[in-house]
Structure formats: structure tokens, C-alpha cells
Structure 1
């Protein structure tokens, strides 16, 4: 997919060359005036070409796929050359400003300095010119393929073709129509729609509350991914009868790659000092908090007996009717862990045709006309009663505006569906819905794979990450934050995310999760497109060429192999709490995003001049020396740990800054883009300082 590469390059051109305050070394070397026309030309051509791909909507035409791959490689190659050039320029400046070089420079004349400027200007010119030539060649090929295709369609005299050959022109603006509230006008997603589950709800409630057993019983809900296990468990968990019956209720998501310490932390919630406690201490705290209580513990998405064995002893049995409710797609898990009596195990049922149609109709939000039902019924039938595929396909169809689009998409679903619903068939249905996303939204959706499975994603943080990666582009007077909010609403409207938390007014999404099947899709698609590598997940998935995003969420990974991916890597996401070794960031000279959720050792000194987003918890020393000296394009800075000097406020792109506590005087010069600042002392909060940041929101 070319969109990630093209949008990233467009944003790099804007940040390095087209912003009002470009990097000082670029101004000193007078590189921008020399190349201004080439920069603007490449910027415009890239924007036009990605729009051309978006409007063609010929995602399954092989020639278009090949051209997208070619465009991706060109865009990534140009961006690599530009950013490496900037690295060399900063190194040249450091050398030039050193005392040693100052002494040597006494014998250099003005002509030598000008020669250096010319040399660097011509180097950039060559990169830009070659990029423009390659882009022009791709544009000609795309237009040729489109003309040939349109000719074929005209000869056929009909649009009754499958989606594999269809052209559906749409832009981002056409696909996303918003009302004043910032939410989609066509649907409300304030809560999950429960269809056909009333009987199953009653069954589970009987096991939890009405059954006479006073022993601690383990109740299991089992079924394939996407069948609604979590939705049913959540409805039971939040029911008023459940709330009144149990003294304590706890919920934890286990997931396929469980972490026993994280499970305990999840069950304990936000209790004081738990983050620094050992596993044994946490287990004891949990046991003591449940002792003597009638409790309900939900363990969602359990994959193995080991995950149960890690916490089983933490759940006391006081013969008072306590229950543990687990959801799993693995029958063996339910059989081995669940109470011996089969009464406490429930196998989820697929929706019947009537229930499937009801769910599809509610989610698609289309009027019940003859054409709607005639086309929709066969589509719903192919979903085989699996709720996840029904709602995802409904989200797709809610965005189609004409009868022809309905027919063509329906044909694509029906013609190649198999008679049974397995993981691959479910995957194919998800792929079809993904193929209908606008290119920008595709990139943002795939980016969700950089987070671990079942990770609670904060919308504001994600929006800033998208912006740092260049994946969101504002239109007219729209801010990147507004675009990110619009994209998140669009993903919700297409049923591709699960909303976890809303603002107090209910209009804005604050946090969300991704269903594990959709998350797996993002990971696999990101790997297939050489965008994402998950360190330690599988040796067989190790990329043969460079990737842009690296996620570390498994303890066992080859650190040397990971360093081999550093040449093209732009983002590192580090989710390990305890680690055997730290990544040597010195290898990652083009790093723009560093997202670390636990204590992380930063070697020093290191200079990351392209850093745009820094999120560190528990850094062992002030990261200013190692990461900040020339991070001119820094946009987000959040460090939980050491004190931070306020000098960081000088960066022209900085919008969000957080630290436990700042020290030093408020700087005389603060860039006005700053919108959020957290961690100020009382002495900083006076009119003389705050008047310097007129756009401050929080």
C-alpha cells in the first residue's frame, strides 16, 4: 500500500522544507531556496498521484497493485535519502562548531564554505529530480491502466462486474460526512447491539446467580472468534442483578500471549504501589482483597491452561457462591479449567437467518426497501451467522451510496465465498471491507497493529502518533487533531473498533480497543506490506527487508537481528515491563517515534534529529542530552520520571509536553503551537509566562 509511504514523504517535505521555521542547518546552508521549485513540484505530484489511486479504486487489478508497490518503494527511497542527508548536515554542523574544526577553518576561505553549500544543495537536487521523474513515470502508467480498464467496461456496456474489476470513485470528503457534533450522522454506536442472545444471557445468569452451588465455580463461554463471547460476558457483568448479587466484580483481558504479572495488575486495578510490587506480592494482595467476599471475576479471551494456573490460587473459595467467568475459543481450555459439572459450560450459538438479518439491518442503517432486502439477504447468509463478520460487512455497506455499488460488492462477497465459515473465510470478508477504505484510512487502520492485542488505545495519543507518522492530512483549515478524530469516528462507523470510553457528554471517543481478529488482520497485513515487525512473535516472520514500525511485546527476541532492521525503521514501540536487554537506539538514526510503556534504559549520548514523538515511562536519566539537542520537529513529548527543563518549549512543532515536574525558569521564547502542557510548578503559572502560548488548550 503506497499511502503510508506517500503521506509520510509529503509530511517530511512539509516539516523539513515548507514550514515557516525550517531546521536551522538548512537555513544556514541555504539549501531550501536552491531547491524550492523542485520541493514544491514533488510535493504537488505526490498529492495528485495518491488521489489518483484513491479515485481509481481498482485495488484488485494486478497492474494497479504493482504500480502501488513501485510508488511505495520510490517514496520510501526518496524519504530515506532526504532524512539521511539531513543527518549528514547536522553532523557537519557539529563538526564545524567544534573547537577542533574552528581551528582548522581559519585557513579555509569563503569560497570553500560556499562550495560546501553548493555540494549539499546539488545532492538534494539530484534526489528530488530523480523522485519527480519516477513519480511522473508511475503517473503515466496509472493513467494508461485506467484508460484501458474504462475501455473494457465501455465495451462490456454494463457495470454488472464484480468488485475485482470495479471503479468506485470516492474521496475522503465523500466518504466521511459529519454533523456539527463530530459524529457520523447515519448511526449511533453508544452501545453494542445484542441480537439473538437473550436466551444465552439467561443461561449464563442462571449459572452465576441462580445455581444453588456455594462453591467457587468456573463458568466458561466458548465459541469461535467474533461470535460474541465478550459482548455477552460484558452484558452479564454490567447487569443490575449481577452488580447487586456480588460484593466484588473484576475484569481482566488475558489474550493469546498472556503475561501473569499484567493479569494481576489488571485485576488489582489502580491500587497504590502495585507497579513496583513483585509477582508474589501482587498475588497475595489480590487474594486478600477477595477473601471473605462473594466475587465475580471475568477472564476474557483465555487461550491456555497456563494462564489459569498463574492466577488460580489468587481466587479463594469461601463457600459463598463466588464465580469465575471465562471466555475462550479453545474447547480444551473450557473443559480442563471449567467446573466438572457440564452445567457450567456454555457453547455460543451462531445467529439464525432472522437474527442475522436483524443485526445487519441495525448496523447498516439502510431503509427496508425491496432492493435493499433482495441484495442484502444473500450477503448476510454468507456471513454464516457470525456477528463480527455481519457487523463489519454492515459497516462497509453503510458507506455505499448507490444500488450499483451494492450489487457489485454483493457479487464479490457471494461469488467467492465458501460453504463453511472458517478463519480464512472470515479473513476474506474482512479483507473485502478493508479494500473499500479510503487510502488514508487504510494506513491509519493498519497502524493499530503497532499496539499489542487487547491494548486500550487512547484516542488523543493515537491522533498524535498518526500525525507524527504523517498519516493524517488536514484539509483547508482543519487541524490534524480534528482529522484524527474524524478518522476514529469513521473506523467506529465501519465497526472496525470497539469503543471503551467516551467523553462525559458522550460525543467524543476517548479510548477504544480492536477485536482480536481485526487486530490480527492489521498485524498480518502490516507484515505483508513490509511496514510492521513484531519482535519475537515468530522467527519465520522476520522481514527480509527493512520495515518502518517495530513492536516489542515478547520477551524473547534476537537483539542483533532487530538492529539489522534499523536502517529504515522510523518507530519503536516497547511494551515489555521486564526486559533482558534494551534496544541500542544508536543504530536507529532515522527514528521519529519512541513509545515506551515501562522502564527503559537510554544510552547516552545519542542524537535523534528526526524525533517527532517521545513517550517514556520511568526513564533512568534525563533524556534531554541523548535525544533532544537537535530534535527540531518534535511534536509530542511525555516523560514520566526525571525532571525536565522547560527549554524544550522552543521547538516550533511542539504541541504536547508532559513531565512529572519541570524545573528551571520559563523560557523567554516559546513557540505558539503549544496546546497542552502538564507538570508545571505554581511559579510557572503566571500571566507573563502563559501569555506566550496563546493557543494553549490544557
Structure 2
């Protein structure tokens, strides 16, 4: 983590030295010396960072470097910028020189301390570890008896089935899941099973250390195989090269059945180092590095279900008696925190068993789980969580700890967190990729390492929101505080350290709480700031001198005006006023020249000042709200764009641009859209029919689009998009929504090979649209809503999700036998003329069917069919069938 902070300082100085060569003429040599020395420190800390947990002294050194980096990120760069405008003033020059000398002195002192550690720990420079081994607890799982493991039978049987079905060739089976789920325990039970011992000639269990060396790993494999075969190791094994050892393993295993467990492979380097040593048959890996070789044989170990969790917990917490009634409620609360994690349930249950059923001690433990993780009693859990954290590549550590800002009861929104990571400077630029694409890659890495879990997906199955295990969240809150990544206050009780750089305030704020007055704060995030004390605290914090603020998150705040202090934050990169009552953006928005994200979704703003065009770094401009009536979508409220919108060349998301009563010539504004060639998401409202030709001309330039929404001027207005667009115009377009009347489906839609979601609203199509779009190779979701289709009958062929809404003339929906084999979601809303669903019994993969606001006769017919036909009912194979009705201003839900 110190390396991350020093990297940030190093990178910022690099940019500043380039930008201000003339400014630094008087002391350029000193500045470059500092720059070079910080680069050396960065390299040293990359190794020290990874080993700090195993050595208390080294840990203190890393903390020292964190304090140094955090001070001088603002110290050196901040002082220089402070005097940039008045550099001609001789006094200012002397001040700058003085500050540079002071920083140089502090750096020399830091290097003296660093040299001390180089002398004490020379092995750090070699990239390996000679410090005392850190007990990680993974081996404990090998000592568990099967009777101690709850819920293991089903996954064990699946793995045994896969092993028994192996014919020839190298087969890789991967078991994945977050730390503490029992992966090692499960695999050990499989490895020791009698059938496995009988069916494989050779068996080896290899534990892959965190800082493995290829030669040592290969030696372990050879020794274990020979030990299993009761043969001595070959002479001179330690002196052999890696290639020679791979050849030995290959020849030894040639034409033999064998099973090798590699516990715990996380990095591709470990797998790549040994994979070619294995001929034929099977190997097994714990971790994601080998998943690409697994050919579908990847078992994702899930948390224990509620009943199994309770069984395991009660067995440990109350080994001789049942749970007393007065502890039932608090037991459920603690179980909820464990979230089905077997290791946590066993360790916490065993610990609570020592408290003699005293409710006050149970309650105290429940309140302080986070601090308990830092102590000795839950060391087994925190050690395993630490393994996952310290195994992360350095660029991911700060990103992961930053997730602690998300309140306990909120999901992690991928788009939001990615934009925050970018604004914080956590995302390292790479040629050929946008920052958002790199951030998405970071999120996928955390997902692949099972540190976060998917909670919601997009229509095409891509992750949209994530969940983090409650105990893991408690752990990273502690680590984030320790490494000064972020301070989190959810109860108004935390005393914020003077050095805090990022401050997240969640929920009720105590007015007597110490108000932060430090000058180093760079991020301020308010969550659920609904109490009356919120406003004064915001103003006091903003007035306290936090001039370096980069992130300001005020989502949902009870405010109708942006504080004037916000527009003095010249370093601000991220500003969110989502779901506030703000109704005006003042001209002073132009002062925020470094702003990259402006999130005004759900505000009362309908117009932006022309000064918005000064924000040349703006990448995300989100300003819209959805209207609903009786629970139904009614329309989108966008914003009126200033003239020359095309000057914002960095824009990637622009939602939603209102073309009605636009300032200047409306056609000119449509032409301006064509200049925004970096756009990936575009939303347009109030489009008139006569603007169609010019819009298609502009769209032809937007080859990076991933999502496009076009809304007509009013419901009865035609959208005219029947102008030729090249098949290569939208190679990446995944989502297309057209809201307005269409005489026919534009022909170019048939060439959108990447399209996964297509929605028509108000379109009043008379020809079956399926005839025109059935050739789209990746289409998964189709929405025909709000009179999107006026025909009597629809015949479906292939989709994953189907939504039909307010199709007043539709009477029959027919599904051909063998069609849409992958359809899993079907929703029919307010199609009151529908009499029959024909062939729905053929949809064997349906998981969810919803009927909302349908004719009462239709609903009663289906319910009667179920009552009479039982297991023969045509929807009996669907796990969840829901009937919704709008009654007295709210939805009444019935499940079948």
C-alpha cells in the first residue's frame, strides 16, 4: 500500500515536471533528484508491501512511508502549484526553494531508515522472504474430520463424478470460491476418498506458497510423487534446472493415471510454470488461474444455505445443549454476519461457546465483530482474509480497500465505483484501452478472486452490481483505516485522524462530532445524509480548507442548491448530486476544469449553462430522470444542451440530450452530436421526424457506441431512421431502444451483430418484427412495450428474455416447439387482450414468469389450470410464476 501511495506521488511529479519545465528552471535539478529517489523508493516498497504482515518492524516502516507519501503528494506538488501564479515574485521563489529543500531533507531521512531495513533485511532486495513464516491456517482444513463438515456431500459427489468420467488427455478441475468456504477441506475429502485411491496410480498434494519459486514448486511435485510411489528422490535434484525437472515429471507420469492437487493456485504464473510437466489424465487446482484449462469443470463453492449454517453454528456454540430462547435473536444476527462462511461459523461458534450463554457478552461480540477480527481470538479468519488481500497485485489493493466506502446495506455498483476509482487515481492508464475498460478489468479480477460476488447482472449477463461478504467488509474497513485509504464514520463516533485523505460519512451524523479541518482531504462522500444536521456539516467541511478535493459524492442529500464552495475546488474530478433537489447549475461550473464525471441523475435540472463547455476533460455527463404513472414507465426527462456541444470531445456517456427548444438551430445541435466520436452511451429525447436524416448522418461517426436510446418528441411523433448506415457503423452496439412511432423497422438494425438488447416503445409496428430481427446472432432480450406492436399474434423463435407490455391488440403468443431453448425470463404486462399462451410448456429453461395487470379472466384461467392439472400444468416446470395487480395505488403480488 505504501508503494501505491508513493507511485501516485511519483506519477504526479512526473507529469508536473513535464508540464512546468520553465517554472522549475531555478531548482529543476533538486526536483528531478527528488523524482529519481522516489522512483527507487517505489521499487523497494513493492517488495516490502507484500511482506509487511509477517514482520511487525517492517510493517511500521511501511506505515512510515505511507505518512511520508501522503504528506508529500500534497507537500511538494501542492506548494509548487500554490505559487505558480506568482512565480515572478522573488519572495515566492524563495518560499518554493525552501519547501523543496525541506522535502529533500525529509526524503534523505526516509532513505536512511530505508537503508537500515536493507541492512537488516537484505533478502528484501532479492524479492524473496527470510522473515518468520506467517501462519495462514490453510493446513487446518486437512485435519478436519468429515463429520465436522456440513453440506459437503453434494459438492464432493460432483467432483467424484467428474473424476470418474475422465477418459484421456490432461483434465483440469478447478474449485473456486472466497477464502473460508472450505475449498481445501472439500478437495481433501475427495482426494482421500477410497474410489480416488483405487482409480489413480499416483497421488500428490502440493501447497503452492504465496511467494513460490518455480524450481522449488517443481521439486515439491517430484518429491511428493516419488514419496507416493515409495521411491527415493533422484540424486542432485536441487541442482537441476526447471526444464529438466519438468521433463522428469513428464516422463515419470507418461501413460499413467494420476491425480495432483495444487493448493492454492491464484496467479497465472504458477500454473504456466508447471502445466506442461503433466501428460494425460487429470490434475486439480484450487483457484482461478487454471480455470481456462478446465473445459467447464469449474466448481464454484457456494456459502452454506441458511439451515446448514444454523446446524453448524448451533453445534459449535451450544455443543451440549440447544440454543436458549433469549439467545435466538442474537444468534440469528451473528449468523447473518457470517453469511454462510463455514470457517467463520466454526470459529465464531466455538468462541461464543466459551461465554457460558451470557447475553451481555454475546451482544458485545455482535457489536464489535470488526475489532474482534483485529484481535487474537478470530485470528484464523483474519489470517485467511489477509491471504486473499496480500495476494492481490499492488494496483488492486487500494481499489479493493476503497470498496469499504459502500455502506453495509448497499450493493457495489460497478459503473459508479469504476468512475470513483478513476477519479481517485487508482486506475493506471494503458495504451489502447479507455480508463473505464481498465477499471472494469480490475473489477473482474476481484470477481475472479472471489473477493466480490455478483448480485445483479445486465440483460446480457454482464455483472452490474456486486456484494461483498460482511466479514470481509469488516476486514477491509480495518485495513483501509490502517493504510489511510479511507476513514468511514457510520455512527458519528469515529475520531477522524488528522492525516485522513478520504472521508465517507454514512447515516446519522452526530452534530458534536469533531469536524475535520485537515488540509489533505481529497475525497468526501456522504451516504444517506437525511438528518437535519447534514447541511451545516457539509458547509463546515467545505470551508475548512480542503482545497485538494477530487471527489465529492452528495447523492440523495436534502439540498436544493450547490454550495458556493464547491466551485472553488479546482482539482475536483468527480461530482455527484444524484437524487437531490438541486434545480440550477450556475455559470461557475466552468471553474471545475478537471471535472471528469458530473452525475445529476434524478435532479430537478433541465438546462445547463454554456459554461459547461469549458469542461474539456468531462467524460460522463448524466442528467435525466424517469417518469412513472401507476408503476409504469411514462417517459424520460433530459436536459437542454448549449450550442456547440460537440466541443466536449472526451465525452463517453451523454444522457439524455433534449432537442426540444434547443438554444440555436436544432439541426445544428444534431450535427454537433456527430463530433463526439468517443461516445459509448448516448441518449436523445424530443427528436422530431424531420431531424432523422441529420441524426443518421451524425450517428455514422459514432463507431464506439455501446448503448443508444432515441425518444421521439411525443408519443405519436414518428422517428424517421430509414437512412442507410454502413453495417460497420456500430460494431460494438449492445443496446438499442427506440421510443416513438415507426413505419417499419430500419433495415440497418438487421446488421447489428453485437446487439444483445432491443426495445420498441410506442412504435405501433404492424408487421411481425421478429421476421426482421431473427437473424441477429447475439440478441438475448426483446422488449415490445407501450403499443410497440399492433398485430394480433407473435411467433417467437430465439431469445433469453422477453418483455411484452401494453400491447393492447395482442391476442395470442405462440412458441414453436424447439424455439427459444435458452429463454429464462418472460414478463407480460398490461396486455389485456391476450387470451392464450400457446407452447409455453416447450420453454424448459424458464426460471421466472411474470404477469402484471392482465385481464382477470386470463389470470383466473391460469390459476384454475394449475389447481386442476397440478404437476401437469404447462407452467409447473417454472420455479417462480408471479401475478401482479395494481390495486388502490400499489402492486399486489401473488406467487404460484
From the superposition, tell whether residues 184 and 464 of structure 1 become closer, same or farther in structure 2 (CA, over 3 Å).
Answer: farther
* Structure 2: gaps of 5 or more residues: 138-208, 214-265, 273-288, 317-322, 350-372, 625-637, 660-665, 682-896
Structure 1 residue 516 displacement after superposition: 1.1
Q: Distance in 1 between matches of 2:623 and 2:27?
A: 39
1:122 maps to 97
Q: Distance in 2 between matches of 1:513 and 1:547?
A: 26
Structure 1 residue 53 displacement after superposition: 2.6
Q: Find the structure with the greater CA-based Rg.
A: 2
1:599 maps to 557
The root-mean-square deviation of aligned C-alpha atoms, in Å, is 5.2
1:590 to 534, 539, 548: 548
Q: Distance in 2 between matches of 1:68 and 1:684?
A: 59
1:322 maps to none
1:511 maps to 465
Task: Give a deviation string over 1:344-378, Cα, whole Å, max 9, x none.
Answer: x9999x99xxxx9xx9xxxxxxxxxxxxxxxxxxx
1:445 aligns with 2:408: no
| Residues 619-634 of structure 1 aligned to structure 2 (within 5 Å) | 619-620=581-582, 622-624=584-586, 628-634=589-595
1:168 aligns with 2:211: yes
* Structure 1: gaps of 5 or more residues: 94-111, 202-220, 228-328, 339-344, 360-379, 389-417
1:432 to 387, 412, 417: 387
From the superposition, tell whether residues 134 and 461 of structure 1 become closer, same or farther in structure 2 (CA, over 3 Å).
Answer: farther
Q: Distance in 2 between matches of 1:441 and 1:452?
A: 20
Q: Distance in 2 between matches of 1:555 and 1:38?
A: 48
1:69 maps to 63
1:534 aligns with 2:491: no
Structure 1 residue 594 displacement after superposition: 0.7
Task: Give a deviation string over 1:506-555, Cα, whole Å, max 9, x none.
Answer: 3x43211211111111112222334433335263x413433112111131
Counterpart secondary structure, 1:76: helix
Structure 1 residue 647 displacement after superposition: 3.2
8 Å Cα contact 1:575-1:596 kept in structure 2:
yes
| Residues 225-264 of structure 1 aligned to structure 2 (within 5 Å) | none
Structure 1 residue 651 displacement after superposition: 3.1
1:678 to 647, 650, 655: 655
* Greater helix proportion: 1
Counterpart secondary structure, 1:517: helix
2:599 to 631, 638, 644: 638
Q: Distance in 2 between matches of 1:143 and 1:523?
A: 31
Counterpart secondary structure, 2:437: helix
Counterpart secondary structure, 1:563: coil
8 Å Cα contact 2:398-2:485 kept in structure 1:
no
2:73 to 64, 76, 79: 79
From the superposition, tell whether residues 113 and 31 of structure 1 become closer, same or farther in structure 2 (CA, over 3 Å).
Answer: closer
8 Å Cα contact 1:636-1:654 kept in structure 2:
yes
1:567 to 519, 527, 535: 519
From the superposition, tell whether residues 635 and 161 of structure 1 become closer, same or farther in structure 2 (CA, over 3 Å).
Answer: closer
1:466 to 399, 421, 437: 421
Q: Distance in 2 between matches of 1:87 and 1:58?
A: 36
Counterpart secondary structure, 2:657: coil
8 Å Cα contact 2:414-2:464 kept in structure 1:
yes
Structure 1 residue 450 displacement after superposition: 1.1
8 Å Cα contact 1:467-1:480 kept in structure 2:
yes
8 Å Cα contact 2:508-2:531 kept in structure 1:
yes
Q: Distance in 2 between matches of 1:176 and 1:515?
A: 28
From the superposition, tell whether residues 592 and 174 of structure 1 become closer, same or farther in structure 2 (CA, over 3 Å).
Answer: farther
| Residues 85-104 of structure 1 aligned to structure 2 (within 5 Å) | 85=79, 88-89=82-83
Structure 1 residue 620 displacement after superposition: 3.0
TM-score (norm 2): 0.45
Task: Give a deviation string over 1:17-67, Cα, whole Å, max 9, x none.
Answer: 55xxx6xxx79xx52566666666655654553343333532222342222
8 Å Cα contact 1:595-1:614 kept in structure 2:
yes
Q: Distance in 2 between matches of 1:681 and 1:330?
A: 63
2:889 maps to none
| Residues 136-175 of structure 1 aligned to structure 2 (within 5 Å) | 136-137=111-112, 140-147=115-122, 168=211
Q: Distance in 2 between matches of 1:440 and 1:81?
A: 23
Counterpart secondary structure, 2:564: coil
1:486 maps to 441
Q: Distance in 1 between matches of 2:463 and 2:616?
A: 28
Q: Distance in 1 between matches of 2:91 and 2:40?
A: 34
1:97 maps to none
8 Å Cα contact 1:573-1:594 kept in structure 2:
yes
1:658 to 614, 617, 622: 622
From the superposition, tell whether residues 475 and 169 of structure 1 become closer, same or farther in structure 2 (CA, over 3 Å).
Answer: farther
From the superposition, tell whether residues 73 and 176 of structure 1 become closer, same or farther in structure 2 (CA, over 3 Å).
Answer: farther
1:217 maps to none
Q: Distance in 1 between matches of 2:270 and 2:553?
A: 31
Task: Give a deviation string over 1:619-649, Cα, whole Å, max 9, x none.
Answer: 53545456x4433322211123223335334
Counterpart secondary structure, 1:679: strand
Which structure exhibits the higher relative contact order, with contacts defined as CA atoms closer than 8 Å and separated by 6 or more residues?
1
Counterpart secondary structure, 1:552: strand
Task: Give a deviation string over 1:650-698, Cα, whole Å, max 9, x none.
Answer: 3343221222344452347735332222232224885642343332222
Structure 1 residue 161 displacement after superposition: 8.2
1:5 maps to 5
Q: Distance in 2 between matches of 1:152 and 1:480?
A: 30
| Residues 39-50 of structure 1 aligned to structure 2 (within 5 Å) | 42-43=34-35, 45-50=37-42
From the superposition, tell whether residues 335 and 121 of structure 1 become closer, same or farther in structure 2 (CA, over 3 Å).
Answer: closer
2:51 maps to 58
1:295 maps to none
Q: Distance in 2 between matches of 1:37 and 1:466?
A: 33
* Number of residues of Structure 1 aligned to a counterpart in Structure 2: 479
Structure 1 residue 608 displacement after superposition: 0.6
From the superposition, tell whether residues 38 and 535 of structure 1 become closer, same or farther in structure 2 (CA, over 3 Å).
Answer: same
From the superposition, tell whether residues 172 and 670 of structure 1 become closer, same or farther in structure 2 (CA, over 3 Å).
Answer: farther
1:545 to 498, 508, 511: 498
8 Å Cα contact 1:449-1:526 kept in structure 2:
yes
From the superposition, tell whether residues 514 and 49 of structure 1 become closer, same or farther in structure 2 (CA, over 3 Å).
Answer: same
Task: Give a deviation string over 1:101-124, Cα, whole Å, max 9, x none.
Answer: xxxxxxxxxxx9464774576366
Q: Distance in 1 between matches of 2:503 and 2:387?
A: 26
Q: Distance in 1 between matches of 2:584 and 2:60?
A: 46
Q: Distance in 2 between matches of 1:430 and 1:563?
A: 31
TM-score (norm 1): 0.56
1:616 to 555, 577, 584: 577
1:555 aligns with 2:530: no
Structure 1 residue 598 displacement after superposition: 0.6
Task: Give a deviation string over 1:99-155, Cα, whole Å, max 9, x none.
Answer: xxxxxxxxxxxxx94647745763664466456545654654454344156899999
Q: Distance in 2 between matches of 1:572 and 1:330?
A: 45
Q: Distance in 2 between matches of 1:118 and 1:75?
A: 24
Q: Distance in 2 between matches of 1:67 and 1:470?
A: 24
